[in-house]
Structure 1
Amino acid sequence: MPHEGSSHEARADTPTPHRAHGLTSIVEILRCPVCTGPLSVDGTALRCPDAHSFDIARQGYVSLLDGRSGSLRADTAAMVAARARVHDAGFFAPVVDSVARLTAEFATGVPRPVILDAGAGGGHYLRAAAAASGTSDGVVESPVAGIGIDLSKYCARAIARGPHALAAVVGDVWRELPVVDDAVSVVLSVFAPRNASEFARVLTADGALIIVSPGPDHLSELIEPMEMLRVDAAKSARLHAALDDGFELVDEAPLRYTADVGAGIIGDLVAMGPSAFHSEEADIRSRADDFAGDGRVPVTVSVVVTTCRPIRGRRPDQRRTDS
C-alpha cells in the first residue's frame, strides 16, 4: 500500500507526454484509492493531499491499486496480444459497433461525456465508444473523456498507447473504483466483472450502464474441441439480481452472428480469455490446428447487450457478478 512520501509503482523512465495526456487531462475525475481524497498531477505522479503518491509509468498509465488485490489473476501480455489479433480480424466488430452506437446515444447532449470502461482489456470497446461520442456527422461537438480500468498492467499499456487519448488505470473492479461520485456519463462492462454498487456511485443522475455478457451458445462450436470454460446457465439471473436494487432496465437485446475463422483466430479466442489460465499455449495451438486444419470453420458469437440507468437514491448492495 502506498504511504506518505512514497511512490506506488517504480518508474523506469519519464512518461511519454502524449501517452499520459489522456490520464492527466481527467485527473479531477480520479480519487485516491487509499483515502478517497482528490488527486492532482505532481510532476510525473498523481498525489492526494495526504501525500499518497502514484507514479505515472513511462507507458502513460497509473496504478491505483490499494494493495489488497494481489491474489487475483490479471491478463498476461500474451492474452492481451491474442485479444488484439481477434479484434484486428474484425471478429467482434458487430459487438464493438453496438457498444459504440449505444454509448453515443447516451452521450448526446452531454457537454463533456465521461466514459468509464470497467475491466477494459486492451481498450477496444472504450476506444470505439469514445470515437463515436461527442461527434455528429464526423464533426466533433464536445470533447470526450475516456477512462479504462483493468487489473492488468499490460491492458493499461495497450489502452494508453492507442490513437485516442484515453486514461489508462490499473485498478480492481471488484473493489471501490478510484473515481469520484456522480462523474461518469456511461459505464461500460464488456465481458468483465460487474460491481453494481460502484457503478451506481460513479454514474451521474442521467448516466447509463451498458453491459455485454455472453449468451448460452457463445463460441459454442469451440467449447468441447478447445476445452474452453462453459457459460454458466445462471449468469443472466445473477446479472438481473445484482442490478435490481439500484438500476432501471432500459433495454436488453440479443446479438448473434457467425464468423468463419481459421486455426489462428480460434487459438487466439481461447488464449485471450480465462480458459488460457488452464491450458498451455502449445496445447491451445495444437488443438486449434487439429480442429480447423488449414480451413475455416463457423463460430457463433452470441451476446446480450443490456442497458440500464441508475435509480437515484438507491444503491445496489455489494453483490458483484462475473463476466
Structure 2
Amino acid sequence: MPSADLPLLCPVCSNPLVLLGPGAGTQPRLACAAGHHFDAARQGYFNLLVGKGTSFEADSAAMVQSRVNFLGNGHYLPLARAVASAVVPYLSETGAAVLDSGTGTGHYLREILDAADAGGRHVAAIGLDISKFALRRAARLNPEAINMVCDIWQPLPVATGSVDAVTVVFAPRNPAEFARVLRPAGALVVVTPRPGHLAELAAVTGMLGIEEGKDDRLAEGMAGNFDLDSSSDVDIALTLTRAAAADLAFMGPAGHHLDPGHIAERLESRPEPVTAGARFRLMVFRPRKHGAA
C-alpha cells in the first residue's frame, strides 16, 4: 500500500489529492477537498486522465508482455543499477520522494527503491505512464508507489518543489513541468539510446535507427530549465535467444509499427545466440537557478 503522505495534485482543480482507503469492499481512492475523486483500478493503478484524455498512442498489452519478458531476465540490469546509482545520492534523508515519468512496467523504479531501502531510506514514489497495460505491471511490481495513467504533456499531478529526483528512461520529456516539481537540490536523470544502439538487431528486424544529433536536441530542449551536470555511457553486450531478441525488438517504439510475427519470422534464420550491442547515455541535469545565464 502506498504512503498516504504523497505530494499529489488534483488534475481538475490542483487542490492536494489525498489517498483514502481501501474500505470494506472498496478500492483505494484519491480525493481532493473540492470533491473530485479517482478510484484505483482493480489492478492497483489510478487513471488521472481528464477532459479529452490524450492523443498519445499507448503501449499495447503485447508490447508490455515483451518488455516484462525481456527485462525480467535481467538483460538491462546494468542500466537499471546505473540509474539507481545516479538517483540515490539526491534523495533526502527524510521525506524523500521520486517521480518516474514514463515508468512503464516499473522496472527501473524498482531498482531505485531497492537501492534506497538498502541504505535505510524510505522513499515516496510516483510512477506515471500513458499505458494502462504497463501500469498494471508497475502496480504489481511496485505496490508501495502510486502508479497513475497520466499525459506528461499536461500539468503533472504533482506538487511544486516536492520531489528529489525525476527519472525519464526512454520516455518523452516535459522540462518545464519537471523543473516545477523538483526540489532546488534535486536532479533529473534521463536515459536515451545512443547512435548504434541495437544496430545489429535493427538490421534484421526493421527497427528504426537512432538519429544523429539527438543529444544536441535534448540539451537544447532542457536549456531553459536545466543545466547538464554529468553524462556517462552504459554499454551492454547482449547474447540472446531468438525469442528474447524478438521481445527486445517489439517492446519499444518499433512495437507500434512492426508485427511480432514478422519480427519472429525475420529472426528464424539467425543462429543462436543473437548478439547485439545496447548503447545508452545517462545524463544528470540540475534545475537551473532563477536568473542564471
TM range (shorter): over 0.9
TM-score (norm 2): 0.92
Amino acid at match of 1:224: A
Question: How big is the shift at 1:193?
Answer: 0.4
Q: Which residue of 1 aligns with 2:185?
A: 206
**Pair 314,134 (structure 1): closer, same or farther in 2 beyond 3 Å:** farther
Question: How big is the shift at 1:181?
Answer: 0.5
Amino acid at match of 2:140: R
Question: How big is the shift at 1:163?
Answer: 5.4
CA distance in 1, matches of 2:153, 2:244: 30
Amino acid at match of 2:75: F
2:103 to 120, 126, 140: 120
Q: Which residue of 1 aligns with 2:173?
A: 194
CA distance in 1, matches of 2:142, 2:177: 28
Q: Which residue of 1 aligns with 2:289?
A: 312
Amino acid at match of 1:229: L
Aligned residue runs from structure 1 range 195-274, under 5 A: 195-274=174-253
Q: Which residue of 2 aligns with 1:319?
A: none
- Stretches of structure 2 that go unaligned for 5 or more consecutive residues are 22-27
Amino acid at match of 2:245: I
Q: Give CA-to-partner distance per residue, 1:217-276, whole Å, 9 cap, x none.
A: 111101121000121213111110011112122101111231111211110011111111
SS in 1 for 2:205: coil
1:76 to 42, 60, 68: 60
Q: Which residue of 2 aligns with 1:45?
A: 29
Amino acid at match of 1:188: T
1:144 and 2:123 correspond:
yes
CA distance in 2, matches of 1:314, 1:191: 30
Contact kept? 2:4, 2:19, Cα under 8 Å: no
Q: Which residue of 1 aligns with 2:24?
A: none
Question: How big is the shift at 1:49?
Answer: 2.2
1:300 and 2:277 correspond:
yes
CA distance in 1, matches of 2:219, 2:273: 37
Question: How big is the shift at 1:196?
Answer: 0.6
Amino acid at match of 1:288: L
Contact kept? 1:130, 1:145, Cα under 8 Å: no
**Pair 62,163 (structure 1): closer, same or farther in 2 beyond 3 Å:** closer
Question: How big is the shift at 1:285?
Answer: 1.4
CA distance in 1, matches of 2:281, 2:56: 26
CA distance in 2, matches of 1:99, 1:28: 22
SS in 1 for 2:136: helix
Q: Give CA-to-partner distance per residue, 1:266-322, whole Å, 9 cap, x none.
A: 1001111111111222112111223x24x112211101000011023369xxxxxxx
Contact kept? 2:192, 2:282, Cα under 8 Å: yes
1:184 and 2:171 correspond:
no
Q: Which residue of 1 aligns with 2:74?
A: 90
Q: Which residue of 2 aligns with 1:170?
A: 149
**Pair 26,42 (structure 1): closer, same or farther in 2 beyond 3 Å:** closer
SS in 2 for 1:149: strand
Q: Which residue of 1 aligns with 2:83?
A: 99
CA distance in 1, matches of 2:161, 2:66: 35
Contact kept? 1:104, 1:134, Cα under 8 Å: no
